[in-house]
């Protein structure tokens, strides 16, 4: 759906983005990750033409973006940024309704859309519609920013470090919500971050950038297992990669069906990650856990040997 083909961006004599090629399929969540100044934001802004590319081609649905009228292009793309960009003297409801109003939707339709989006992002109308940005917490303001980006129902969402300024707990819960939103709305998302844990948690397609170039791209597990070079390896956490991989794999992948023996005492949800399972084992000094389904029924057993990937049985 989004294709960058040998795209370069120069600012004067400096090359910020250097001959990158990248394809994002419809409904995919693509994360650009890399150290500061590597060209992530520039890449994102070239997609909605806030920045014009110098060389190469950018296509949306096979059409060069330069062929679209800028207004048509931006209407297809929501844009959410770290500082939220909310208008400080406008209420939450007015901020969210900005794009539909610019598109001259009838007032009743704008109102209905604002209500729908606030519900979608867990913002109570009664409590928040009339509040101003300075009366919101960081997490609430980010939710409003995302609601505003979704207002005209764009099929593409561009997000530039949207959760960068939040504490880790709020950040994780917004990441979780974004994944759920994505599963429900099937948007195509390009997401910029410099936080590798966030990138691994969110990405279907992970793109590692360094000094304006793409050094590796693929599924998170592929990159973790086969980093292209020492830079990617250290960015992915070096020796910590085992834990990062475990965070991406569900318990259900390594458990074995429950045998006739009585289940172990400690329990873990089948959808929990292997990393969470390891943490429970360490905390409880347990080498075995009973894996339970959503209704709390035992469905399997996970031993420490299986968790670490030993094939021979326990």
Ligand X SMILES: Nc1ncnc2c1ncn2[C@@H]1O[C@H](COP(=O)(O)OP(=O)(O)OP(=O)(O)O)[C@@H](O)[C@H]1O
Note the residues at the interface with ligand X (CB under 6 A): 11, 14, 16, 34, 36-42, 194
Beta-carbon count within 10 A of 301 CB: 19
Beta-carbon count within 10 A of 161 CB: 19
Q: At its nearest, how many Å lie between ligand X and the CB of residue 40? A: 4
Q: How far apart are CA 249 and CA 271, in angstroms?
A: 9
Q: At its nearest, how many Å lie between ligand X and the CB of residue 82? A: 9
Helix/strand/coil (H/E/C) assignment for every residue in 96-164? HCHHHHHCCCCHHHHHHHHHHHHHHCCCCHHHHCCCCHHHCCHHHHHHHHHHHHHCCCCCEEEEECCCC
Helix/strand/coil (H/E/C) assignment for every residue in 251-274? HHHCCEECCCCCCCCCEEECCCEH
CB of 93 or CB of 196, closer to ligand X: 196
CB of 51 or CB of 280, closer to ligand X: 51
- Please name the residue that has the structure tokens 């992002």: 121
Q: At its nearest, how many Å lie between ligand X and the CB of residue 105? A: 33
Instruction: Tell me the two tokens of residue 211.
Output: 């000094």
CB of 44 or CB of 93, closer to ligand X: 44
CB of 42 or CB of 91, closer to ligand X: 42
Q: At its nearest, how many Å lie between ligand X and the CB of residue 164? A: 9
Q: At its nearest, how many Å lie between ligand X and the CB of residue 35? A: 7
Asked if residue 100 lies in contact with residue 110, where contact means CB atoms within 8 angstroms, the answer is yes
Q: At its nearest, how many Å lie between ligand X and the CB of residue 173? A: 23
CB of 212 or CB of 300, closer to ligand X: 212
| DSSP-assigned letter for residue 8 | E
Q: Is 38 left (phi over 0), alpha (psi -120 to 50) or beta?
A: alpha
The residue length of the chain stands at 314
Element of type H or E holding 216: strand 213-218
Q: What's the Cα-to-Cα distance from 284 to each of 156, 262, 264, rounded to whole Å?
A: 44, 18, 12
Q: At its nearest, how many Å lie between ligand X and the CB of residue 11? A: 3
- 21's CB contacts (< 8 A; 6+ apart) are 4, 5, 6, 7, 56, 214
Q: At its nearest, how many Å lie between ligand X and the CB of residue 207? A: 12
CB of 37 or CB of 138, closer to ligand X: 37
Q: How far apart are CA 264 and CA 248, in angstroms?
A: 24
CB of 194 or CB of 213, closer to ligand X: 194
CB of 37 or CB of 263, closer to ligand X: 37
């Amino acid at each position: 759906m989004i294709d960058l083909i040998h795209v370069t961006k120069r600012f004067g004599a400096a090359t910020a983005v250097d001959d990158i090629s990248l394809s994002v399929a419809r409904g995919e969540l693509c994360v650009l990750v890399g150290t500061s100044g590597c060209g992530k934001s520039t890449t994102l802004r070239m997609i909605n033409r806030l920045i014009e590319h110098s060389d190469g081609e950018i296509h949306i649905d096979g059409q060069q973006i330069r062929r679209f009228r800028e207004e048509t292009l931006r209407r297809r793309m929501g844009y959410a940024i770290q500082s939220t960009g909310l208008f400080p003297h406008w209420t939450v409801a007015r901020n969210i309704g900005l794009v539909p109003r610019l598109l001259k939707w009838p007032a009743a339709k704008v109102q209905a859309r604002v209500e729908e989006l606030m519900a979608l992002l867990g913002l109570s109308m009664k409590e928040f519609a009339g509040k101003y940005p300075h009366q919101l917490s960081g997490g609430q303001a980010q939710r409003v920013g995302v609601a505003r980006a979704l207002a005209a129902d764009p099929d593409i969402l561009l997000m530039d470090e949207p959760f960068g300024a939040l504490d880790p707990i709020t950040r994780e819960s917004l990441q979780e919500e974004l994944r759920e939103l994505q599963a429900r709305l099937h948007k195509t998302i390009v997401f910029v971050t410099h936080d590798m844990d966030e990138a691994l948690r969110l990405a279907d397609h992970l793109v590692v950038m360094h000094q304006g170039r793409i050094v590796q791209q693929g599924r998170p597990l592929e990159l973790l297992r086969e980093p292209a070079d020492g830079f990617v390896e250290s960015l992915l956490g070096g020796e910590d990669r085992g834990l990062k991989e475990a965070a991406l794999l569900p318990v259900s992948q390594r458990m074995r069906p429950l045998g006739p023996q009585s289940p172990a005492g400690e329990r873990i949800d089948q959808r929990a990650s292997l990393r969470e399972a390891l943490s429970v084992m360490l905390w409880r000094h347990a080498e075995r856990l009973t894996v339970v389904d959503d209704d709390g029924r035992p469905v399997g057993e996970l031993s420490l040997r299986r968790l670490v990937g030993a094939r021979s049985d326990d």
